[in-house]
Amino acid sequence: MAAKAVKTIGILTSGGDAPGMNAAIRSVVRTAIHNGLQVKGVMRGYAGLLEEEIVDMNTTSVSDIISRGGTVLYTARCREFTTPEGQQKGAEICRQHGIDGMVIIGGDGSFKGAGKLSGLGINTIGVPGTIDLDIACTDYTIGFDTSINTAMQAIDKIRDTSTSHERCSIIEVMGRRAGYIALWCGVANGAEEILLPERYDGDEQAIINRIIESRKRGKKHYIIINAEGIGHSSSMAKRIEAATGIETRATILGHMQRGGSPTCKDRYYASIMGARAVELLLAGKSNRLVAYKHGEFVDYDIKEALAMTKDIPEDQFRIADMLVR
Ligand code: ADP
Ligand code: F6P
């Protein structure tokens, strides 16, 4: 079948923002213009699409953004777009603006929307953008690298003061359903405990016992990396302090992990993925997700990608568990 010619593409960012999204936007815009396409920026994700917040973009619209965190297109969550009526309206607005191809940068929720747009005749390609690394079809998501480096630096600082005061510190990192940030930082920061939503059995008494043991061995601090999906860090700190007699503080790193200037890796991978998305549209493809798998940039059918599952690799968890002891 001959490739359907795409003349005007839209681009939006959706769901939680992630450092590197701007690099992807820049790459999409510049690749499209290089190939003679028009580009329209859709502001505020699907919400902005339904409100027709659509602006023309050119090469200079994306000047000086590659080093900036956040997304210059802004992002939002939009309930209306989860309804068939909202999706029809979105596809119709695309047509009215001459948009025949869309690049959607976001996570699994955003890709469900992308699949719907594709089914309604708008050629749509997804690019994985989330700090959580929780998109099954890809080993890399835009923002994860910056996020873990931001969290790692913050945890190093907390460790200094924790040691000086001979305290126990619980540091809560982001990841509501996925523990990748906690796993990577737990290992990279040399933590004493790594609590992952996928693995934590809730045995707080075992943690308390290990804290008491380590204090007996002369350890000056005890760093617990707790994932947001487990949460309750403040109440956990109170219980641990009461049970061990060791001063215990909780720090929730929060949204600082989603901001800041992207790392080189996030800028580079986001740039490649943005360009690949446009190239897929130019090749007449739709309903695909750009991914990075086994060392290569690839793409998957959205429905197949969303049906994939992913878990913390067992061997990495085993090694992390060994290193904390
Ligand atoms: P993420 O893309 O990071 O997973 P969300 O789950 O919040 O973030 O999804 C972002 C947006 O994608 C939602 O606000 C909604 O507009 C759209 N979306 C989510 N699920 C669906 C769905 N099943 N069908 C259509 N659109 C969806
Ligand atoms: O972007 C992913 C994520 O940071 C999750 O780790 C977290 O649970 C969620 O977004 C929080 O999003 P918000 O505070 O914007 O609702």
Tens digit of each residue's pLDDT (9 = 90 or more) over 241-300: 999 999 999 999 999 999 999 999 999 999 999 999 999 999 999 999 999 999 999 999
**86-128 pLDDT tens trace:** 999 999 999 999 999 999 999 999 999 999 999 999 999 999 9
Domain ranges of the chain: 8-143+262-307, 146-258
Residue with the nearest Cα to atom 10 of ligand 2? Answer: 16
What's the whole-model pTM score?
A: 0.96
Q: For residue 3, what pLDDT is reported? A: 55
Distance, CA of 12 to CA of 215 (rounded, Å):
51
Ligand nearest to the CA of 118: 1
Q: How far is the CA of 242 from the centre of ligand 1 (A)?
A: 42
Distance, CA of 91 to CA of 85 (rounded, Å):
10
Residue with the nearest Cα to atom 9 of ligand 1? Answer: 109
**124-172 pLDDT tens trace:** 999 999 999 999 999 999 999 999 999 999 999 999 999 999 999 999 9
Q: For residue 5, what pLDDT is reported? A: 76
Distance, CA of 255 to CA of 74 (rounded, Å):
16
Ligand 2 in reach of 228 Cβ (< 6 A)? yes
Integer CA distances (angstroms), 38 to 29, 60, 217, 260, 278, in order: 9, 14, 66, 30, 12
Pick the CATH number of 146-258 from 3.40.50.170, 3.30.160.270, 3.40.50.460, 3.40.30.10: 3.40.50.460
Ligand nearest to the CA of 14: 1
What burial letters (b/e) apply to 261-283, b meaning 16+ CB within 10 Å? ebbeebbebbbbbbbbbbbbbbe
Residue matched to tokens 């934590």: 200
Say if residue 2's pLDDT is above 50. Answer: no
The CATH topology of domain 8-143+262-307 is: Rossmann fold (3.40.50)
Question: Same fold for the domain at 8-143+262-307 and the one at 146-258?
Answer: yes
Q: Considering only CA atoms, which of 75, 74, 70 is closest in space to residue 21? A: 70
Q: How far is the CA of 16 from the centre of ligand 2 (A)?
A: 6
Q: For residue 4, what pLDDT is reported? A: 66
Residue 293's SS3 state is: strand
Ligand 2 in reach of 16 Cβ (< 6 A)? yes
Ligand 2 in reach of 174 Cβ (< 6 A)? yes
